[in-house]
Each structure stands twice: as C-alpha cells, then as structure tokens.
Structure 1
Amino acid sequence: MKLFKVIYILAALVIAANASSKVEIDACGASFPKAVYADWIEAYEAETGVHISYEPTGSGDGIVSAVKRASDFSGTDKPLLPWRLERYELTMFPAIVGSIVLAYNIPGIGDNELKLSEEAIAAIFSGRAEFWDDPRIIKHNNGLKLPHEPIKVAVRSDGSGTTYNFTYYLRKIDYAHFKKATKLFDWQADTIGAKGSSGMSKTIEETPYTIGYVDFSSKKKHHLCSAVVENREGKWVLPTLQSAMIGAKYANLDKEKDFFGVIAYQEGKSSYPIIATSFILLPKERKAKNREIIKFFEWAFSNGEYIANKHGFAMLPEETMEDIRDYWSEKVL
C-alpha cells in the first residue's frame, strides 16, 4: 500500500518536473529544526539540482510569511487550527519530531548531572525558585554542590514555536502559574531575552548560572549541559533520540484535523516529556510550486532519517507519514 501511494505521489509530481530547468524554492520559519532542514536541503540539491533557501527566522515569522505569501513554504512549531488554515487558505503537515532540552551553565556541574523534577522546573521558570540551592532543586541532587547564586533564565525574545511548545508543557505540569501556551510569554522569572535558537544557545554558553530551553541539535552544536528531567510517569529521562521517538509514538496527529496537535507530555515510562513537532505551511493556490516542495519532503521522508537522527531528531511514525501522503494527494497536489 505504501509503495502504491509513493508511486502515485511521484506520478503527480512529475507533471512539474520539466517546467523549469532550474527550480528555486524560498522558505523561512521555525529555527527549531534548522540543522535537519539545512542538511536535507544540501543533500537534496546535490542529488537533484533543486535549490532551496530556508531562513530560520522563527515560527512567528514563518506564520506571517505564509499568510502574506512571502515564501514558498513556511516552517512553524506552533500548529494552526483548521479554521485558521481555512481562513488563510493554507495547508499544513508535520515534518519532524525533536526534543526541547533544559540547557544550563552552572560552573562545576557537568552534562546530565543535574536532575530537575516537575516541581523544580515549574518553580524555576515561574520565578519562585530564585537561587540554585533552592530546596526544590536540591531535593533530587544531594550529590551536587549547587551554589547560592541567582538563577538567570534565558528565554526567546522573538515569536517562537519552541516557546509555544515549552509553555504548553509548563501548562501541563503547573497550570496555576502557566495558564496559556504562547509564542511570546510574559515570564515572571528574572529573564535574559535571546533571539532564535542560536541566540539562546550562545546566551547560555556565555552566561554562568543560566538555564534555558533549546532544541537538542543546538545543545550538541554548542556543547551545552542539559538536565535529566522527570517525565509524566515520574521517571527520570534524558533527552535522547530514543526517548523522543518513544514520545512521538504516542502522539495523535489527525489527518482530518490537518494534523493539528501538540505532542509534549506524552505517556510512556521512557518518554521524554518536552518534545515538539515542526510543521510545514503551504498556500493552497500554488499547485506547481507545491509539487516541487512535496517532492523534497517525499525525498526527506524516504531518505532523510540518518540526517535527522544525527541531529537528535526523530522521523514521524510510519503510519503518520502514510497519512501525510494521503493528505498531499487529497489537499495539496
């Protein structure tokens, strides 16, 4: 069945194959998956000659660009509700799954040495835990010498899908202090604003006693330390590729609802709780260009797993990718 769908999609896509000897695709949006997209694009261009430019301007800008038709496709980590897609004549599908890690810079504390419970995480990001030796943090870190230093919380200053997914998670663990998931949050903690995933990573890297939220690939690139966190089942888990894949397995992304859904805080004893899906937005009316874009994502779904895994991202479950191919046939091509 899968082979038939792939053949059908490729047959539909071949209509535009000879429309131009040089295909150019301009895109922008979510910075969360930028490392994966950059390597996918490089490999795809080497194989096909198609040039794709993807600027990681943030999910907020990605959504605006999609609405204004300022790009051929847009990336966003904040999904749009079906009625909004209808209003702006857009289609949307998920592309990749990744972890959001709690990265810290505490002199003397190494990678994966710090444990953060749900109680501690909520206290830090709500501003109720002001020092690193707060009892809520010390409780699960008896072997660490946590200093009596103010906690500096790094947050995104731009409209960020990563912030949206992280505040969604915070809302799940502490609704009293985080009543809304949003791309720009009114933080009550002592915060340092940073633009983009790279800006966040550099801020944490350069500022002692800081903690913030970044994608797993940024943690790896900047050699940041990240916390072991308590998951929904009360188990301690690391942000690994395997734990992200386990969490993604429980996600419910419904084709009939344009795949709208936030997958953080999933069940599973080994699930990492702060995971996110990155989505692609396409304008309905640009059929010819959309065919070229779908060719790229079909290639990525079929050939891009090694690249995604290298950056700590997980591919979507096979059944979800099958639903996406159906969605392309029904709504995009």
Structure 2
Amino acid sequence: MKMKNFGRAAAILSVSSLALVACGESNTPAAEGNADGGDSASSEVAGTLVGGGASSQEAAMTAWTDGFTSVAPDAQVNYASVGSGGGRDGFLGGEYDFAGSDAAMSDDEWESSKEICGTEGAFHVPSYISPVAVAFNVEGIDETLNLDADTIASIFAGEITSWDDEAIAEHNEDMELPSTPISVVHRADDSGTTENFVDYLATASDVWDYEVSGEWPGEIAAESAQQTSGVVGLTSETDGAITYADASQIGDLNTVAVQVGEEYVEYSPEAASQAVASSSAVEGQASNNMAFELDRRTEESGAYPIVLVSYHIFCNEYPEQETADLAVAFGEYVLSEDGQATAEAAAGNAPISDELRDGAMESLSAITVAE
C-alpha cells in the first residue's frame, strides 16, 4: 500500500521551504483535528496524554509540553525518556498513548500495533529533523576532523585504535594528531539514534558488516552508557573518546565533518534537511503513514547524511474520545509554527517544511475513536 496525499519526499522536504516565518502569527491547533491548526482552541481539551521514547527528544519535548500547557491549560503531557525502542515497546504494550522514536516502526511492529490501534494500526508523523553528530574528546585536537564513511566505520568497529592512525591522518593532512588510544562510546539502551547511525555505517561504508538495529553490536568491545546524556557525559570525561549523539545535545564536544562526494560536510540543521530531501517514503504500512527511507549514500553538495527524522507515533484509533482529542491537539501543537519554533530554540532542530506540516496535519485528522 502506498502513502496517500503526501507526494514525493523530495518535494515535501524542499530545503527552500524549511525556514520558519520569524515573528509570525502562532498556529494554535484545534482539538477537533483542524488541518489548518486554526483558531478553535486547544484549550478545550482536558486530561493527561502519556508518552515515552527517544531521549534525543528530551529538550524539545520539555519545550513542547510547556508550550502545549500554555495553550491548553486543562491538559497535560507526561513523557518518559526511555529510548526509541523502549518507547515503541511501551506504546505497543499499552503503557503509552504515543511514542517518540528516532526510527520508524518495523513492519512487524506495525502489524502488532493493529491490536491496540484498530485495523489501520499506528502511523508516524515527523516531529523534527536532526543531524546525528560524530562527537569526540581528544586532548590536542581542538577543531573539526574530516573523515569518510569507511574510516568512521573502522573506528567504531574497533579496527582503528589510535588517533594518529594513517587512515585518519589521510583526511587531515595539516593536523598534528596525538597517539591517544581511541575509546568508542555507544548507547547501552535500544536507541533510534543507534539505529540511524548504524544504518549510515552499513549503507555508506564498505567495511561495516553488522546488523542494523537499535542495539549496538554485542561483538564490538566498547564503552557504553544509558541515554543521550549518558554517552555525551562519558565521552566528555574520557580523553580519546568518540561517540554519536543527537547534535542538539553534544555540548562542548568537537565533531566530525563527513565526506560527501568530494567535500567534507559539517553537521547543521540545514545540511541534515538537505539529506532528507533526497529520501523516499516508507510504503506498506498505514495509508496516512509519514515515515521515510533515508538516503545515506547521497552525494548532493551540502548534505549531511548521518541524520534522523524524529517521529511521534500515534494510533489511528483510540478507545476513548478524550485520548483521541488530546493526541490530535498535542500532535498539531508540535507541528505548528509555534511548536516548531519552540523546539528549534530549545534543541536546535531543523523545523519541518510547510508542505510536510500540511501532510502531517492531514494524517492526524484521520484519528478516530473505537466504536
């Protein structure tokens, strides 16, 4: 089954339309699922919506929940940062009303979602676009490193073990590299950031032979920590450490510029959006699904291929009207210009385009209540 009404992903995510209208009129969502997010008040909804999932969404989620309460004072959103995998598991197990995930549900997960979400199952709407930074802490290297996919993969696979290795030096000819041992730090929990990063390693390099999964390959000996804050904290404390994390949360760590074609591209919201623009839509799940197959091998100038689209996963059918109304209202607030600007200010994410917003609003309007 193909996605309906959303057109080609490249058109939807045209980089030229990614900018928000500064100081524009706030787009307050409607509880009834008004696709324009017009003036009918989210303040009419009441109750508590419970979600869980990606820790990379934590900064944005705090901003969204605070912002949503300001327009819907009788509503509350509780969100547990348990990782993308934990969020999807909790959602499918009935613990959460929605999930935040940096990776799309598998076909098997979508089939399972029909048990709680009706015959159309669950669906994804994009909440923001974010680059995944390859971040490091090495005394003696105080600037951006240039690396290609094969070298990054070899480092994280444990095949390159010293910062002055010839493979690293080849891409950084004018830099004096220390002989510090490399310490790889990865997520210990089931993580959408891990899945996106490993997908890049497996797709863009010729040396990564491990399964693409939200769990780090157990065959690789490395340091680990829970959640985004954990890997960033451990890397910041360890000389020679390297990790991967949502770029909005890496703090003062230095980062890698990734080779794309003949150039090295540093992460930025705009460069991440450029990569997503060349991606295609996932097929075969709900008719209003808005998940993407990301193009990791893009050679488009200025594109940063280690990118994630962070999703909110909702049911197409909820058992109660209150939950359905809350899901629509909160989803519309997140997608609104105000919600996107709030997240951008709090977490540095790339806002979604107007075209993508329109399609996502239409997806949310399909939410119904079980009879």
Q: Give the TM bin, normalised by the shorter chain.
A: 0.7 to 0.9
1:181 to 212, 233, 243: 212
User: Share of identical aligned residues, percent?
Assistant: 24
| Alignment-derived partner of residue 277 in structure 1 | 309
Provide runs of 4+ in structure 1 moved above 6 Å: 11-17
Shift of 1:267: 4.7
Please give the per-residue CA displacement for 1:306-326, whole angstroms capped at 9, x wherever unaligned: 223332211233322222222
The separation in 1 between residues aligned to 2:147 and 2:212, in whole angstroms, is 21
| Alignment-derived partner of residue 97 in structure 2 | 72
Report the CA distance shift for 1:82/1:327 in structure 2 as closer, same or farther (over 3 A). farther
The separation in 2 between residues aligned to 1:322 and 1:98, in whole angstroms, is 20
| Alignment-derived partner of residue 246 in structure 1 | 274
| Alignment-derived partner of residue 80 in structure 2 | 55
Alignment of 1:302-321 (within 5 A): 302=336, 303-310=338-345, 311-321=347-357
| Alignment-derived partner of residue 362 in structure 2 | 326
Report the CA distance shift for 1:292/1:227 in structure 2 as closer, same or farther (over 3 A). same
**Structure 2 residue runs without a partner (length 5+):** 1-28, 115-120
Letter of the aligned partner of 1:308 in structure 2? A
Please give the per-residue CA displacement for 1:145-189, whole angstroms capped at 9, x wherever unaligned: 211121100000111111001010001123542342101121554
The separation in 2 between residues aligned to 1:123 and 1:257, in whole angstroms, is 39
Give me the TM-score of the superposition, normalised by structure 2. Answer: 0.79
The separation in 2 between residues aligned to 1:40 and 1:205, in whole angstroms, is 28
1:38 to 46, 49, 62: 62
| Alignment-derived partner of residue 135 in structure 1 | 166
Which SS does the other structure have where 1:320 is aligned?
helix
For the pair 1:261 / 2:292, whether they are aligned, the reply is yes
Please give the per-residue CA displacement for 1:219-258, whole angstroms capped at 9, x wherever unaligned: 1xx3211111112x33211111221222232232357472
Which SS does the other structure have where 2:127 is aligned?
strand
| Alignment-derived partner of residue 319 in structure 2 | 286
2:223 to 175, 192, 210: 192
Letter of the aligned partner of 1:205 in structure 2? S
More helix by share: 1
The separation in 1 between residues aligned to 2:169 and 2:218, in whole angstroms, is 23
| Alignment-derived partner of residue 206 in structure 1 | 237
Contact 2:140 2:178 in 1 (8 A): no
The separation in 1 between residues aligned to 2:96 and 2:311, in whole angstroms, is 15
Which SS does the other structure have where 2:167 is aligned?
helix
| Alignment-derived partner of residue 121 in structure 1 | 152
**Structure 1 residue runs without a partner (length 5+):** 1-5
- What CA RMSD, in Å, does the superposition of the two structures yield over aligned residues? 2.6
Which SS does the other structure have where 2:366 is aligned?
helix
Bigger drift between 99-108 and 274-283 goes to 274-283
Report the CA distance shift for 1:144/1:293 in structure 2 as closer, same or farther (over 3 A). same
Shift of 1:10: 2.7
Contact 2:328 2:367 in 1 (8 A): no
Report the CA distance shift for 1:104/1:87 in structure 2 as closer, same or farther (over 3 A). same
The separation in 2 between residues aligned to 1:210 and 1:280, in whole angstroms, is 32
The separation in 1 between residues aligned to 2:93 and 2:58, in whole angstroms, is 22
Which SS does the other structure have where 2:122 is aligned?
strand
Which SS does the other structure have where 1:88 is aligned?
helix
Bigger drift between 192-201 and 82-91 goes to 82-91
Letter of the aligned partner of 2:57 in structure 1? P
Shift of 1:43: 1.6
For the pair 1:236 / 2:264, whether they are aligned, the reply is yes
Contact 1:156 1:200 in 2 (8 A): yes
Bigger drift between 162-171 and 316-325 goes to 316-325
